[in-house]
Structure 1
């Protein structure tokens, strides 16, 4: 038993060392000079793996500290987030409901908390959408939201709701009888970027009541099945308010492209100038190129058609009858061509082409998920282009990206790019190490020019292979970028427990089996804590500003506390920092600057009070 006890103690010590390495042997730091990977130690310049002594404490596998093994971390999904504050009468509005919609499809929903704050999450917005905000006792609001295909967080600031007015009236037919279940929409006659809107429906006798209508002079639009839409101007008055609807008419349109083919998915807008706000309505053409506007209240309309591949077209004084009106749509110029593999063979499946202005810098790291896929025989047609000089960029699996000769497009007629031949490319292999251990699970992104520190830190929050030309290191720490065109490139490295790093420049040749380049990463550190008021209440969404004394980053880092007042920084380079907290509601309330120093692998806790 006396013999076994020392053996057990040695075994426990070795197991603890292996566990510590599993927790910390990951990250991203500085790159070294290009040299083939030999598997040796990083040498004297390697980042130390042990925390310094003193008041600092080494990282521990605490819950929520994010100290998992590198190879156990899955890249989070890219999401779009919208944050802000809903206020009314100068105070936050708790319990307000928010929804993000597009074509009446709900993309995301949220409710404000007791402080009026909201956080609405959805998939990245590939197209524009509308944010609808509703709260009891206030006028509903609609705000247009621009596309955000890359996702990320958008701060919407204060969303201000107004108290409304009460509107009572009736919707009648031509004989003075009430129309049941008619929709009544009330909005300002001159809306701004935020549209105040209220919607109600009539009772069986045609009467309606809008409790929270926009204040002031408004436009009231009524529509009902079988009747034409009617819009009237309303100003608060003691006299009864009535809207009379006449039988509606239908405007039928057919959008014709070259050789009589239907134009699908075009945006068609009709407008009647005689109405208060133009009576504008919009719809998309169907798969047959047809669109019908029912329930119109005017005999003639102005029509405008827009489509990314066709020139805008318009017609005036189009009669709304049962006869279909044909609108000719002229396409924008296009570029045609063919892609061929060596020996004249067809290109591999997944080959894609994309037209770029000839003056744009060439993309030697083109993505396979952009542009248009060529046909099985290699032929392609890129339409919807404007007059000018263009180049066609080609990306094909197993081949280096390539471009065509410049193609000149005029106002009419198509251009021809000729035959674009594919060529085999080179590769760039990197081996990531932290101390003496390989770094698996790190993400590496390719750049044609040296990325700035601001770019490195801005892109670290966007994880996943679909965001740029990215690869992930394997269990041995190796990562390879295949099928590259010859030239100079830089690489950004994102790994857990380390700050973002860049490596380069690297020369890419034509050899697809070049030796791996060793990149040594430095272990980072981070700070976390809680922001509270002088009374001890946690402060949600408090702003924190972190400045590095040595100015290696060249810019301050901004953080925000969560709903419980907690904050956690990204992995920072070791060094001396200053942190200060303040609130957006009252920037004069500040915690005052606090200096601290972080060592490699350290995770420090620092609470701040405003």
Structure 2
């Protein structure tokens, strides 16, 4: 009898321990770790609220306030620029000039998740928050974001002017400086089309990706030291249309991706999402031959992409991408004869 009571007591003790362990583990699920809390307090200095995850691909926050300062003497950088950009090379960005106090205040921005805030100024290496691509912001504070970005002076400078086909200056052009396919700086051209972007002192070469509203983008490789550049942008072309199912009904929220032919020397694809009526538009395109393909949950695309050509400053809006109900599943099977693809619906 005594043995039975002892065994029962042991089992009860183990059960209580298990309950305490489970409840403690669940508690940790909703509490940020000390490491994450410290990181958040450093990156978002004036925000006390625990950040909340936004729903969907975009979210609204009250404001983003950034102060640009010289890291050596704490001087305000009044000629600086602040950009909010999705992470990754060639990703979209919105850029804003700083005021006379080196401050940029953006009210109620609509921000795509997985973004970084960049600060730059002529003669300075850019700084970002967070400072590494792997830690892009995906949780948004309830009260907004208030940060100081401190910039260090640089020796490797890329200076130049952005002009249109007639030679006139393009104000507000975005110049993205890439090193080894990773963004290192984002700069903005002034009212005279002038810009100055800096790279780290150890850099020997860089890639410039230049974009402006209403123009097709351009890419240029530079080696340091580099002289004054003249970068020309040309009027954009665009491709528009609708994504439908087999019955002609619109397919909303479909991803439409374009791939330009290799001879056009465009190293990255472009994509967009269809609206609630299935309409889509790919803008800022160069003249050339494109291949379009659509994808969406519970649909499969046509076997071959839609091939289409667009000329200089041409805007086509007659395209139809058809999809089929059901999902295409590709199974890759390895063997002695190499990789074979078996497709089924």
Instruction: Give the alignment's TM-score, normalised by structure 1.
Output: 0.32
Number of aligned residue pairs: 234
- 1:199 lines up with 2:215 in the alignment: no
Alpha-carbon deviation of 1:310?
Answer: 1.8
- Which residue number in structure 2 is paired with residue 185 of structure 1? 176
| Counterpart contact for 2:176–2:183, Cα < 8 Å | no
Name the SS of the counterpart of 2:290 in structure 1: strand
> Is there any run of 5+ residues in structure 2 with no aligned partner, and where?
1-11, 17-22, 46-50, 67-111, 140-150, 332-342
- Which residue number in structure 2 is paired with residue 432 of structure 1? none
Residue among 220, 243, 258 paired with 1:255: 243
Alpha-carbon deviation of 1:300?
Answer: 2.7
- 1:166 lines up with 2:99 in the alignment: no
Q: Residues 147, 225 of structure 1: CA spacing in aligned structure 2 closer, same or farther, 3 A cutoff?
A: closer
Instruction: Give the alignment's TM-score, normalised by structure 2.
Output: 0.53
| Counterpart contact for 2:115–2:137, Cα < 8 Å | no
Q: Residues 235, 85 of structure 1: CA spacing in aligned structure 2 closer, same or farther, 3 A cutoff?
A: farther
Residue among 83, 107, 117 paired with 2:36: 83
Q: Distance in 1 between matches of 2:15 and 2:58?
A: 48
Q: Distance in 2 between matches of 1:276 and 1:103?
A: 31
Q: Residues 213, 130 of structure 1: CA spacing in aligned structure 2 closer, same or farther, 3 A cutoff?
A: farther
| Counterpart contact for 2:306–2:321, Cα < 8 Å | no
- Which residue number in structure 1 is paired with residue 211 of structure 2? 223
Q: Distance in 2 between matches of 1:108 and 1:252?
A: 33
Q: Distance in 1 between matches of 2:291 and 2:344?
A: 26
Which structure 2 residues correspond to residues 402-413 of structure 1 after superposition, within 5 A?
A: 411-412=344-345
- Which residue number in structure 2 is paired with residue 31 of structure 1? 15
Q: Residues 135, 224 of structure 1: CA spacing in aligned structure 2 closer, same or farther, 3 A cutoff?
A: closer
CA distances 1:102-124 after superposition (whole Å, capped 9, x unpaired):
55766999x9xxxxxxxxxxxxx
Which structure 2 residues correspond to residues 575-594 of structure 1 after superposition, within 5 A?
A: none
Alpha-carbon deviation of 1:204?
Answer: 1.6
Q: Residues 242, 317 of structure 1: CA spacing in aligned structure 2 closer, same or farther, 3 A cutoff?
A: farther
Alpha-carbon deviation of 1:182?
Answer: 1.5
- 1:324 lines up with 2:318 in the alignment: yes
- Which residue number in structure 2 is paired with residue 486 of structure 1? none
More helix per residue: 2
RCO (CA 8 Å, sep 6+): is it higher in 1 or 2?
1
Which structure 2 residues correspond to residues 187-586 of structure 1 after superposition, within 5 A?
A: 187-188=178-179, 190-191=180-181, 195-212=182-199, 215-272=203-260, 273-274=262-263, 278-313=267-302, 315=305, 317-320=307-310, 321-332=315-326, 411-412=344-345
Name the SS of the counterpart of 1:239 in structure 2: coil
Q: Distance in 2 between matches of 1:30 and 1:242?
A: 75
Larger C-alpha radius of gyration, 1 or 2? 1
Name the SS of the counterpart of 1:31 in structure 2: helix
Q: Residues 166, 251 of structure 1: CA spacing in aligned structure 2 closer, same or farther, 3 A cutoff?
A: same
Q: Residues 108, 278 of structure 1: CA spacing in aligned structure 2 closer, same or farther, 3 A cutoff?
A: farther
